[in-house]
């Protein structure tokens, strides 16, 4: 993969996300891929994606690592940080060295440093004149994100946004219910992670990998697999058995 | 103040039925509609109107339970908002009994938005208007926000045995809604579903009841469950 020139890898990411537009896709899966592609392509260590709910609360939809996930949660709780600012202003945020941002984010900066991050950036997701969410990009070393990097991050975010809203051209009234549906999907996927954490005695991260792998292998939506697990008592035993097989086959 | 902030302010300090009624009243004041109701469509025993902006709204809402059909039931079943711009439109053939009954009450616009608790579609916010036509975009956004907020009174009322939340003067619906959207709460609900073989909404009720009984936050309880330090029993 790393032998390929970066241009090729960016194009591959674009193609992969655009493909989801032409096909049936799962929103949690798609946004997880968005964060993974960004972490892979940009000069950053981890990424997380926050989406606003109808009550204008930012909520975590996807993250590449436990550290990114914790840091995104921290921003939500402390109500400060690059993603919070990016959502509030609708503008990209780029901080090359977080040590210089302690006045701006007195609580976020120590938490980010603690998690091993030195630079933080955020790009907005926007449609219909409103800001829908923010993609947070976290680097392990200090440094600017280049114009090209920001552009790649913004482009992938735009594509993901189009994918979420693809059913109809976005207006404020169509955007809200669709965002709400995306967030409900996330709730069910989180429940399914907890379910497998108990049933298969795996970590919640491993549970997520299992669900995603299973969904991809069987050509089903991640959310549909999760919903089946949570609410369909008849399908559940078979599904758990199949996921257990998958867990046994994975290297530890 | 933005509509969603006014809605949050309207239910400040209220729980259960009172919060549901006040939320409906606030919808009538803030949105271009004539009546509002919140109904629970969970299982046969629990179904019914939980809150309303007044007697007419309650009558409109109960009609669909009497007739066994209507947009609120459909929005829960299909898990999407159902927005009827004109019940008098001859092409509107979805509800043969509900449609003439509502027209007899001079209601032509009905807008039903699902209420979601623990990922389960358990009820709907129903808005009624005498005048036909679509909801304004800003009003629809407000209605979706109200449906989101309705999760807390619906949760209060789903839990028939729990009076703690309703009587606790420190329990704030908005703060609770914020805690319930945390990922670890969803994950703990999933664990409880696996352990106790209950539905997700019931798992949330058990989790919440334990939090109230022990005076701890739902997020703390959720973490203890995930780390296997705490095991709840179904009663």
Give the end-to-end CA distance of chain A in Å, rounded to a whole number.
23
pLDDT value, residue B7: 93
- Over residues A29-33, mean pLDDT: 89
Second-level CATH architecture of A6-169:
2-Layer Sandwich (3.30)
Rounded to a whole number of angstroms, the distance between the first and last alpha carbons of chain B is 44
- The stretches of chain A forming alpha helices (DSSP H) are 6-22, 27-41, 66-78, 82-89, 108-114, 147-164, 172-199, 204-218, 222-231, 236-249
Delimit the domains of chain A by residue range.
6-169, 184-249
Instruction: Tell me whether residues B200 and A230 touch, CB distance under 8 A.
Output: yes
B148/A180 touch (CB, cutoff 8 Å), yes or no: yes
* Cα–Cα dist B110/B88, whole Å: 11
Backbone angles phi, psi at A47, to 5 degrees: -145, 155
Strand partners, A25: none
Residue B174, pLDDT score: 75
Contact B119 A192 (CB under 8 A): no
**Closest chain A C-alpha to B63 CA, distance in angstroms:** 26
Q: Which residues of chain B make contact with A55, given a CB cutoff of 8 A?
A: 4, 8, 145, 148-149, 177
Low-confidence ranges of chain B (pLDDT < 70): 43-46, 160-171, 235
Confidence of residue A81 (pLDDT cuts 50, 70, 90): very high
> Domains of chain B (ranges plus CATH)?
3-158 (3.30.450.40), 182-226 (1.10.10)
Pick from B128, B136, B134, B109: nearest CA to B3: B136
Secondary structure tally for chain B: helices H, strands E: 12, 5
Mean pLDDT of all residues in A26-53: 90
Mean pLDDT (whole number) for A1-21: 78
Tell me the C-alpha distance between A250 and A252, whole Å: 6
Phi (first) and psi of residue B195, to 5 degrees: -75, -45
CB B101 within 8 A of CB B95: no
Q: What are phi and psi of B135, to 5 degrees?
A: -70, 145
Look up residue A63 and give its two tokens.
């993250």
Query: CA A90: distance to chain centroid?
Result: 18
Contact call for A231 and B116, based on CB within 8 A:
no
- pTM of the shown model: 0.77
Find the residue in A nearest to B180 (Cα).
Answer: A187
- Kindly tell me the sign of the dihedral angle through the C-alpha atoms of B77, B111, B2, B15: negative
pLDDT one-digit tens code per residue, A181-199: 888 899 999 999 999 999 9
CB of A152 closer than 8 Å to CB of A146: no
Q: What is the pLDDT of residue B166?
A: 52
ipTM for the predicted complex comes to: 0.78
Q: How large is the average pLDDT for residues A144-148? A: 87
Q: Mean pLDDT over residues A211-231, rounded?
A: 93
């Amino acid at each position: 993969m790393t032998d390929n020139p970066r241009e090729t890898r960016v194009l591959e990411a674009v193609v992969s996300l655009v493909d989801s537009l032409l096909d049936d896709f799962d929103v949690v899966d798609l946004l997880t891929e968005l964060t993974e592609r960004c972490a892979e392509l940009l000069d950053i260590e981890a990424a997380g994606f926050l989406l606003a709910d109808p009550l204008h609360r930012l909520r975590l939809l996807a993250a590449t690592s436990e550290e990114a996930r914790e840091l995104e949660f921290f921003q939500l709780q402390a109500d400060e940080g690059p993603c919070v600012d990016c959502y509030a202003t609708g503008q990209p945020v780029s901080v090359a060295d977080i040590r210089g941002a302690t006045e701006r984010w007195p609580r976020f900066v120590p938490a980010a440093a603690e998690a091993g991050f030195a630079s933080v950036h955020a790009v907005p997701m926007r449609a219909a004149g409103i800001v829908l969410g923010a993609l947070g990009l976290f680097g392990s070393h200090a440094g600017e994100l280049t114009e090209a990097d920001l552009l790649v991050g913004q482009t992938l975010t735009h594509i993901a946004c189009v994918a979420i809203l693809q059913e109809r051209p976005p207006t404020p009234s169509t955007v809200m219910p669709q965002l709400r549906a995306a967030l409900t999907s996330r709730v069910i996927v989180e429940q399914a992670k907890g379910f497998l954490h108990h049933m298969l005695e795996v970590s919640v991260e491993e549970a997520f990998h299992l669900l995603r792998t299973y969904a991809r292998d069987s050509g089903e939506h991640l959310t549909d697999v999760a919903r089946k697990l949570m609410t369909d008592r008849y399908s559940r035993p078979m599904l758990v058995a199949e996921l257990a097989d998958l867990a046994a086959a994975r290297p530890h | 103040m933005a509509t969603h902030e006014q809605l949050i302010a309207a239910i400040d300090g209220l729980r259960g039925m009172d919060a549901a009624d006040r939320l409906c009243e606030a919808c009538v004041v803030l949105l271009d509609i004539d009546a509002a109701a919140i109904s629970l469509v969970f299982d046969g025993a629990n179904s019914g109107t939980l809150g309303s902006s007044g007697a007419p709204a309650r009558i409109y809402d109960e009609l669909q339970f009497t007739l066994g059909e209507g947009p609120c039931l459909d929005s829960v079943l299909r898990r999407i908002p159902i927005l009827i711009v004109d019940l008098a439109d001859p092409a509107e053939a979805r509800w043969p009994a509900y449609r003439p009954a509502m027209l007899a009450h001079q209601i032509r616009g009905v807008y039903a938005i699902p209420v979601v608790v623990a990922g389960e579609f358990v009820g709907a916010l129903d808005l009624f208007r005498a005048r036909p036509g679509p909801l304004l975009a800003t009003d629809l956004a407000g209605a979706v926000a109200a449906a989101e907020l309705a999760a807390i009174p619906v949760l209060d009322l789903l839990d028939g045995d729990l009076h703690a939340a309703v009587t606790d003067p420190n329990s704030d619906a908005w703060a609770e809604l914020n805690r319930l959207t945390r990922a670890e709460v969803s994950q703990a609900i999933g664990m409880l579903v696996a352990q106790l073989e209950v539905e997700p909404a019931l798992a949330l009720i058990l989790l919440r009841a334990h939090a109230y009984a022990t005076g701890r936050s739902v997020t703390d309880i959720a973490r203890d469950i995930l780390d296997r330090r705490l095991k709840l029993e179904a009663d």
